[in-house]
Amino acid sequence: MPGLTIGDSVPNLQVQTNQGNFKLHDFIGDNWTIIFSHPGDFTPVCTTELGKMAAYVPEFDKREVKLLGLSCDDVKSHNEWIKDIEAYTPGCKVSYPIIADPNREIIKQLNMVDPDEKDSSGKQLPSRALHIVGPDHQVQVKLSFLYPASTGRNMDEVVRALDSLQKALKHKVATPANWKQGDPVVISPSVSSDQAKETFPQGFETVDLPSKKEYLRFTNV
């Protein structure tokens, strides 16, 4: 469906949350930010997801990332639901704000609608969407996950993808398949061999391929 995707700027919407009202750009500022939606309060998969997100707050704090949830119920409902979330995930506190969207207008503007899932009244449900927004003052979406309402997200993959984005922004590298923090990265094709020697003084390994094209170069950063 058309809407917010990679490279787009997050609209500066005025939102109401369980931690007060604000505009999205004011909340995001110049920080990495993860905006993630949920079909509704007091639902099973969502309760496990928000609990896991709360459990991973220390990991996001290490990476200087802000979190912003969204669920299609009102603030009063959010506050009651948080009690269940924290009870299900002992020792974790839902410290991040959750946007209230009872009229389901915000999910449309953030491209977080599941076109195939509807509630008992016939209204479209949010998908399990997650946008990672970069810290470049353009509030641009750098990565998006889009899951159906029936599939819960894997927080380890969210952290892994975030690490990849941050690594790529800091260095002229990309991350290969199944990469995880600490593994070798590949040097961007836009970096010439001479530039690579200067940029990566620690050295790099060029894979000998049948094509003899020296494009697959691994290094550690």
Integer CA distances (angstroms), 164 to 41, 44, 60, 112, 160, in order: 31, 30, 14, 23, 6
The structure tokens listed for 194 are 């001479």
Q: Of 51, 94, 109, 102, whose CA–CA distance to 76 is shortest?
A: 102
Task: Sort 44 into a burial class: Cβ within 10 Å, 0-12 / 13-18 / 19+.
Answer: exposed
Which is the catalytic residue, given 46, 54, 112, 187? 46
Interhelix angle 155-170/44-55, rounded to 10 degrees, is 50
The structure tokens listed for 149 are 């309402």
72 is catalytic: no
Give residue 170's region: left, alpha or beta (phi > 0; psi -120 to 50): alpha
Cα gap 114→69, rounded to integer Å:
17
Indicate which residues carry an active-site annotation.
Answer: 46
